[in-house]
Amino acid sequence: MRMKKVYIALLIIIFVFFLVMFCLFGIDNIRQEQYSSILIVGDDTVWTYKNKKWLNIRHSTSLHKYNWKEFVVYENNEKKGTYKLWHDDKWYVFDKDNNAVQLDGDLLAYDANFKLKVKKFNISDVNDLTYVRTVLEEKGFSTSSRFTVLNKIDLDYDGDNVEEEFYVMSNVFPIDFYPDYLFSIVFMVKDNEIYYIYDDVAKNTGYNGCKPYFNSFLDTNNDGTYEFILSCGRFSDASRVDMLYQFDKEKDAFKILISNQ
């Protein structure tokens, strides 16, 4: 009889444990699975997020499904409003009366079944070269290397009310100098620590290399943590590289969720 009571007590404890675990993680997981979004990044990238998975949409018949659908449109990281999009060789933008709208800047458009948050950011010059020199040294480059791109964004990425610094440095497409090696390096500094995001080094063979820049910082899956899109352009008219990044807390490093390449 006593043993039976112990078994019942144990069963109740196990049941309560699983119930608590389900409430803590299961509901959150189920809720997370319901969120879906479509991201259009420039003319070369369409990503969909559904059932916690990212997909590249490339085929023209799939892209045509989005014709005349309404999207929230940003140009050069500035919100323009809700517009209809239409795809041919590129995306064309129309207002609600179907009048064409001219957008010449960097396009970001989204549709989501939740209120998708986009962080505003400003690009500034780098006045203090401490971290830039550290990175150059770490990568085996002279600290007096010349740049074709050197800027940074100060932004509270992880929501702890302290701004992180996102640096972009590159010497690709040089005009009045000819380095042996081309580099494009993007990194974040938080608490004096450098976290690499993008790191491309190659022998200079003319106009090779890719010029990186931050496209947008946004919460693409409504989990309260921000992702960002880093793009990079080649010298020729070849299509642009777009990459969606997330910070992996377990690995304490950035990882690419999806790329259009």
Determine the Cα–Cα distance for residues 223 and 219; give it in Å rounded to an integer: 7
CB of 237 to Ca ion, least distance (A): 33
* Contacts to Ca ion from residues 208-227, by CB under 5 A: 219, 221, 223, 225
Which of the stretches 56-64, 109-117, 151-159, 174-182 binds Ca ion when contact is defined by CB under 5 A? 151-159
Site for Ca ion contains 162 (CB under 5 A): yes
Structure tokens at 169: 């440095």
CB of 41 to Ca ion, least distance (A): 16
Q: Closer to Ca ion at the Cβ: 221 or 231?
A: 221
Site for Ca ion contains 158 (CB under 5 A): yes
**DSSP state at residue 76:** T
How many residues belong to the site for Ca ion (CB under 5 A)? Answer: 8
CB of 77 to Ca ion, least distance (A): 18
Site for Ca ion contains 160 (CB under 5 A): yes
Question: What long-range pairs does 153-159 form, CB within 8 A, spacing at least 24?
Answer: 153/121, 153/122, 153/123, 153/124, 153/214, 154/122, 154/124, 155/119, 155/121, 155/217, 157/119, 157/188, 157/217, 157/226, 157/228, 157/247, 158/190, 158/225, 158/226, 158/247, 159/224, 159/225, 159/226
- The amino acid at residue 67 is N
CB of 52 to Ca ion, least distance (A): 11
Q: Closer to Ca ion at the Cβ: 116 or 126?
A: 116
Taking CB under 5 A as the criterion, the residue among 33, 156, 199, 248 binding Ca ion is: 156
Determine the Cα–Cα distance for residues 165 and 197; give it in Å rounded to an integer: 12
Which positions lie near Ca ion, rule CB under 5 A?
156, 158, 160, 162, 219, 221, 223, 225
